[in-house]
Amino acid sequence: MEFDLIIKNGTLHSSQKSWQEDIGIKDAKIVKLAKFSDEELSKADKVIDAQGLDILPGLIDSQVHFREPGLTHKEDIVHGSKAAVLGGICTFFEMPNTKPATTTVEATQVKVDIARETSYANFGFFIGASGKNLDELIKSQDMVGCSGVKIFLGSSTGDLLLYDTDKLVEIFKTLDCHISVHSESEERLHANVAIRDNANGDVHAHYKWRDAQTALESTKMIIEVAKKAGRKVHILHLTTKDEIEFLKDQKEHCTIEVTPQHLTLFAPDIYDKIGTLAQMNPPIRTKDHTDGLWEGLKNGVIDVFGSDHAPHTLEEKDQPYPKSPSGMPGVQTMLPVMLTHVQAGRLKLEDIITYLAENPAKLFKLNKGFIKEGMDGDLTILDMKKKFTIKNEDQASKVGWTPFDGMEVQGTPTYTIVSGQVAMDHGKAIKVQAQPIVRGK
């Protein structure tokens, strides 16, 4: 057998073990794990010597906002996916709050077609629930390139919003596909809006307005919906110790995501440091909530990491609060930031694999997440010894900034392998033929 790519001499990892083997990839699949002979190596189209490097299953970022179509002054699929592979991400799932919102199969297909031409990484797109498009949601369930349904329970960037419990129960009962939710209580946001409106430009009002109770009330509501429908819900970007405490006994009804920024940054410090650049929904909270998320990780309450890459231009962000929009970039920095937590002893490398490869692959029923024969040829190769400083000028995102500017990190992706193709080599992104996801049954 001749191979498209052989990766030799690296240390392979799963969440359970590490071992030494060469990897042979052909036609976008891992087809052989063995120690290859010189003859086999000579016949491969490309050979990477990964001596001293760590090889992980291809990492998956299951929450990004690449803003195409309609908001491409902030971001687009080409720039967002380039940032992804530079950050060691092989597959991304993009959210529907574009302009217009992605609420039909046709609109979802438009994104898939754009990504086939422009994306550096493999891709999937969420379709948004509006409360009036159940037929479209049903049609999307078996669609190649559709990663599932996204519901905004509280208003955020864009105009998608649905918090009617009867409609939510109907959607949950009708659909078999993955459902992700942004969980903040729209009623409480309205009740407390004076905190925002009387802020006089003080961005610290953001996390006081969108307080912990706003998140907890919504999360309790959506768990009741999941119970009534007899199925699980995926809660995105969890932010509060209160939700951790509540959800630790609700795991049969939900899966949970946290972001690097909510595990790393905290109020009031980050708002004092970078102002409205720290503004996102749900907000960066006080350190007791950050500590609560880490406690949730330790106790198995959390299932996946996601970046919630949601860029806005510096010009937009420089507006006084609350005119400044919520969201920050993150797809390029997620892995280095989390590897820094590994170096600090808060996580293990195996945890990175669990939360960014194995669990997302299981959750979305993908042929990814593991280095095994027959799996998709997606790999993230790391140099755990290399140190560097995250800088605004190195970001591939159109907006050109990161809340982690100036942060010293250790551990960097050296190669990103997408469907058996080298999409990033030592910090240089390379355009490959990326593929839409296909969800299993």
Question: What's the per-residue H, E or C state across 254-294?
Answer: EEEEECHHHHHCCECHHHHHHHHHHCCCCCCCEHHHHHHHH
Q: Where a domain ends, among 341, 363, 385?
A: 363
Q: Are residues 388 and 351 in the same domain?
A: no
305 DSSP β-pair partners: 258
Q: Are residues 174 and 198 in the same domain?
A: yes
Question: Rounded CA gap, 284 and 270, in Å?
Answer: 8
Q: Are residues 83 and 195 in the same domain?
A: yes
- Give the CATH number, domain containing residue 95: 3.20.20.140
Q: Are residues 88 and 130 in the same domain?
A: yes
β-bridge pairing 47-49 and 5-8: parallel
Angle at 234 between CA 14 and CA 63, to 5 degrees: 70
The total number of structural domains that make up the chain: 2
Angle at 372 between CA 367 and CA 373, to 5 degrees: 90
Q: Are residues 183 and 237 in the same domain?
A: yes
pTM over 0.95: yes
pLDDT at 439: 87
Q: Are 59 and 88 in contact (CB under 8 A)?
A: yes
Q: Is residue 331 part of a domain?
A: yes
Q: Is residue 11 part of a domain?
A: yes
Residues of the chain with pLDDT under 50: none
Q: Which residues contact 435 (CB under 8 A, 6 or more apart)?
A: 28, 122, 123, 419
Structural domain boundaries, residue 245: 59-363
Q: Is residue 24 part of a domain?
A: yes
Q: Where a domain ends, among 363, 390, 418?
A: 363
332 DSSP β-pair partners: none
- Cα–Cα distance list, 403 to 205, 262, 294 (Å): 19, 12, 20
- Cα–Cα distance list, 337 to 32, 198, 292, 295 (Å): 32, 35, 19, 18
| DSSP-derived 3-state class of residue 235 | strand
Q: Are residues 282 and 347 in the same domain?
A: yes
Q: Is residue 147 part of a domain?
A: yes
- Among left, alpha and beta (phi > 0; psi -120 to 50; other), residue 174 is alpha
Question: Rounded CA gap, 423 and 92, in Å?
Answer: 14
Q: Is residue 437 part of a domain?
A: no
Q: Where a domain ends, among 320, 336, 363?
A: 363
Q: Is residue 435 part of a domain?
A: no
Residues with a catalytic annotation lie at 308
Q: Where are the alpha helices (DSSP H) in 44-185?
A: 77-86, 105-118, 134-140, 165-174
Q: Are 33 and 371 in contact (CB under 8 A)?
A: yes
Q: Are residues 187 and 66 in the same domain?
A: yes
